[in-house]
């Protein structure tokens, strides 16, 4: 039995033998490693090189492609089908009989073989298997939908007001099919702007990502970020650029989909992608011998989880659905959302209340999971016929937030993926008291922008510094502890431009802001030994 994040509680049972096995074949070396690293444009795009340089990400052995001569020899081996390849792992995913796969060990360039069925490995291995969780409701069509709540809950609309709409950022969506994206009016603005940069179907090995009509899941997911219907719907990152990659073989559950995902992540890295959104998860398979156990959701066991951690090391920001297993026996976050390098997103309803289907965190995971949450119950999406309706699942809370994070990173381009993830966590509603249901809570991207502009000092005096009244029409006052004699108040606009400066002493702590236009400003109080930042509203 399988359960997919993007299927809507459909269960299917398959009764068949498993004479064919899946395995990862790890290789011994690569060609022209030194030459490739010293001439990176031969293996990466200029955008990828620029992104790595900006964030001090090393170009290394893992960026060099797999030796194609080795792959050819594997393809020519008796009974072997090559399904996928990974430069990061220097490995090839193969399918064949147990005997034919084991025979590959005689090839001099084969370092090791790990079967997806762990019982077939002569040495215990940590490479295991997969499944996806599931959604709940059927697509419900409305005359008009309203995506405002799911954006406003995160304050993503504020970023849009500041013209942070994703322009200049590149997102890879790894999913199932994207039918009608090439024809729907909801993506006309995206197409007219040349913002669909390309795509690839890693399952069928072709470029036609719009042909897979067996699943509309990728189209729905993309709509939450990039959909645009005048006066009816705006996605959370409408001006970002997108690559569309199919890694999910919807009718089947097999570990090869993990390998497809890693291939797509590698390609995304080489293309200079900034953010990867995935609404897939892996726990169990059609062949029960491949199944993961809950103990395997430890952030470093599943093949896809290890791949996600490498993708994070390469400087990309990965955002993944936590899963929809909260109501079933599995319950906990699955792979790759268990990875420390993944920002894992749970689901709440339109009021910010935990959605019971949302997968929960566990002490098994090395970091807090889920990380944060967004609206995943009655999320507004656009269907393949341009109809706006609602669906349930972390499949949608993840891309809704991903679009907002894309806009945040656009506003803070010098921040690393690690810093952006942490800023998002710190902005969330229960950052000081996380739990396994909501993680750190609902992010406030407006506050995250403030945090990004000014890293707040950890000085002990911070707790006794106040700025009031806030909001204010004309005057604001600063309250300082007795230990601080003098301070400087600087006011910036939301783009970081300095507007005014005030010098304070114990007897002079008043600032006249009556000349400022209405709106939000950022304030920074500096004193000997530290500083503190505030968000202020001028009425």
What is the structure's pLDDT at 138?
A: 34
Q: Residues 515, 416: one domain?
A: no
Give the span between the Cα atoms of 245 and 277, in whole angstroms.
10
Res. 4: pLDDT tops 60? no
Between 124 and 329, the more confident residue is 329
Residue range 202-225: mean pLDDT, rounded: 93
90 in a structural domain: yes
Name the domain boundary from 453, 469, 499: 453
Closest by CA to 14, choosing from 1, 32, 5, is 1
Name the domain boundary from 120, 143, 178: 120
65 in a structural domain: yes
Domain containing residue 517: CATH number: 2.60.40.1930
In whole angstroms, what separates CA 337 from the centre of its chain? 9
In whole angstroms, what separates CA 84 from the centre of its chain? 22
Q: Residues 398, 249: contact at Cβ < 8 Å?
A: no
What is the structure's pLDDT at 143?
A: 31
- How do residues 348-377 score in pLDDT, each as one tens digit? 999 999 999 999 999 999 899 999 999 999
Run of H or E including 256: helix 256-270
Give the span between the Cα atoms of 350 and 152, in whole angstroms.
10
11 in a structural domain: no
pLDDT band at 300 (very low <50, low <70, confident <90, very high): very high
Run of H or E including 268: helix 256-270
Q: Residues 178, 66: one domain?
A: no
Helices (H), 77-183: 98-103, 148-152, 156-161
Residue range 187-211: mean pLDDT, rounded: 96
Give the span between the Cα atoms of 337 and 339, in whole angstroms.
5
Q: What is the mean pLDDT of the chain?
A: 87
8 in a structural domain: no
Q: Residues 24, 159: one domain?
A: no
What are phi and psi for residue 314, nearest 5 degrees?
A: -80, 0
Q: Residues 143, 264: one domain?
A: yes
Res. 6: pLDDT tops 50? no
Give the span between the Cα atoms of 102 and 111, in whole angstroms.
12
Burial 391-415 (b: 16+ CB within 10 A, else e): bbbbbbbbbbbbbbbbbbbbbbeeb
Side-chain half-sphere of 136: how many Cα atoms within 13 Å? 21
Token pair of 501 as six digits: 């400066």
288 in a structural domain: yes
Token pair of 3 as six digits: 């359960």
Q: Residues 470, 534: contact at Cβ < 8 Å?
A: yes
What is the structure's pLDDT at 137?
A: 35
Q: Residues 153, 274: one domain?
A: yes
The gap between the terminal CA atoms of the chain, to the nearest Å, is: 58
What is the structure's pLDDT at 464?
A: 64
Q: Residues 83, 167: one domain?
A: no
Between 426 and 266, the more confident residue is 266
Q: Residues 409, 532: one domain?
A: no
What is the structure's pLDDT at 537?
A: 81
Q: Residues 201, 256: one domain?
A: yes
Token pair of 244 as six digits: 């569309």
Give the span between the Cα atoms of 61 and 212, in whole angstroms.
35
Give the span between the Cα atoms of 510 and 513, in whole angstroms.
10
Q: Residues 108, 182: one domain?
A: no
For 166, residues 6+ apart whose C-beta sits below 8 A from its C-beta are 225, 237, 238, 239, 240, 403, 406, 407, 410
Residue range 232-251: mean pLDDT, rounded: 94
Helices (H) and strands (E) in the chain, counts: 13, 25
Residues belonging to the chain: 539
Q: Residues 145, 390: contact at Cβ < 8 Å?
A: yes
438 in a structural domain: yes
Residue pointed to by tokens 């800023």: 423
Q: Residue 403: which domain range?
A: 134-453
126 in a structural domain: no
Instruction: Look up the pTM and report it.
Output: 0.78
* Percent of all residues in the chain with a pLDDT value above 90, rounded to a whole number: 70
Active-site annotation, residues: 175, 217, 395
- For the chain, the domain total comes to 3
Give the span between the Cα atoms of 301 and 374, in whole angstroms.
27
* Helix, strand, or coil (residue 318): strand
Domain containing residue 330: CATH number: 3.40.50.200
- How do residues 310-334 score in pLDDT, each as one tens digit? 999 999 999 999 999 999 999 999 9
Res. 197: pLDDT tops 50? yes
What is the structure's pLDDT at 220?
A: 98
Q: Residues 91, 68: one domain?
A: yes
4 in a structural domain: no
Give the span between the Cα atoms of 126 and 115, in whole angstroms.
10
pLDDT band at 122 (very low <50, low <70, confident <90, very high): low
List, edge to edge, every strand of the sheet that includes 140-142: 140-142, 388-391, 379-382
Q: Residues 158, 227: one domain?
A: yes
Name the domain boundary from 453, 479, 505: 453
Q: Residues 230, 329: one domain?
A: yes
């Amino acid at each position: 039995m399988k359960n997919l994040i993007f299927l809507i509680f459909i269960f299917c049972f398959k009764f068949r033998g498993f004479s064919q096995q899946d395995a990862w074949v790890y290789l011994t070396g690569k060609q022209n490693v030194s030459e490739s690293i010293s001439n990176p444009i031969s293996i990466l795009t200029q955008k990828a090189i620029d992104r790595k340089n900006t964030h001090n990400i090393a170009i290394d052995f893992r960026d060099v492609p797999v030796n194609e001569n080795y792959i050819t020899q594997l393809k020519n081996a008796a009974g072997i089908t090559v399904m996928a390849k990974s430069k990061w792992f220097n490995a090839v995913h193969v399918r064949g009989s147990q005997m034919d796969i084991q025979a590959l060990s005689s090839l001099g360039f084969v370092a090791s073989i790990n079967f997806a069925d762990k019982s077939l490995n002569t040495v215990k291995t940590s490479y295991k298997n997969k499944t996806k969780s599931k959604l709940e409701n059927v697509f419900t069509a409305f005359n008009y939908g309203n995506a405002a709540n799911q954006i406003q809950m995160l304050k993503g609309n504020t970023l849009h007001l500041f013209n942070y709409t994703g322009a200049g950022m590149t997102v890879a969506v790894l999913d199932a099919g994207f039918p009608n994206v090439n024809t729907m009016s909801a993506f006309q603005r995206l197409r007219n702007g040349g913002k669909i940069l390309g795509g690839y179907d890693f399952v069928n090995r072709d470029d036609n990502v719009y042909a897979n009509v067996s699943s509309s899941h990728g189209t729905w997911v993309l709509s939450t970020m990039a959909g645009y219907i005048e006066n009816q719907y705006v996605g959370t990152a409408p001006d970002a650029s997108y690559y569309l990659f199919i890694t999910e073989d919807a009718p089947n559950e097999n570990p090869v989909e993990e390998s497809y995902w890693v291939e797509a992540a590698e390609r995304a890295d080489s293309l200079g992608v900034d953010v990867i959104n995935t609404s897939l998860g892996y726990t169990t398979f059609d062949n029960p011998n491949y199944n993961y156990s809950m103990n395997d959701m430890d952030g470093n066991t599943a093949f896809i989880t290890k791949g996600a951690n490498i993708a994070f090391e390469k400087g990309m920001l990965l955002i993944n659905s936590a899963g929809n297993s909260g109501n079933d026996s599995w319950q906990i976050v699955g792979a790759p959302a268990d990875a420390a390098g993944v920002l894992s997103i749970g689901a709440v309803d339109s009021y910010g209340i935990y959605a019971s289907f949302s997968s929960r965190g566990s002490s098994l995971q090395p970091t807090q999971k889920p990380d944060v949450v967004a609206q995943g119950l009655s999320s507004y999406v656009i269907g393949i016929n341009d109809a706006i309706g609602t669906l349930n699942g972390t499949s949608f809370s993840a891309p809704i937030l991903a679009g907002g994070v894309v806009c945040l990173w656009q506003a803070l381009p010098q921040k690393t993926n690690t810093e952006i993830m942490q800023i998002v966590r710190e902005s969330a509603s229960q950052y000081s008291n996380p739990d396994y249901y909501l993680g750190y809570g609902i992010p406030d991207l407006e506050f995250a922008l403030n945090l990004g502009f000014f890293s707040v000092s950890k000085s002990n005096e911070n707790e006794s510094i106040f700025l009031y009244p806030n909001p204010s029409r004309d005057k604001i006052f600063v309250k300082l502890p007795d230990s601080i004699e003098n301070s400087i108040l600087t006011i910036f606009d939301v783009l970081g431009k300095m507007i005014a400066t005030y010098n304070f002493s114990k007897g002079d702590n008043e600032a006249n802001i009556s000349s400022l236009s209405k709106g939000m400003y950022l304030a920074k109080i500096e004193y000997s030994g530290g500083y503190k930042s505030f968000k202020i509203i001028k009425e």
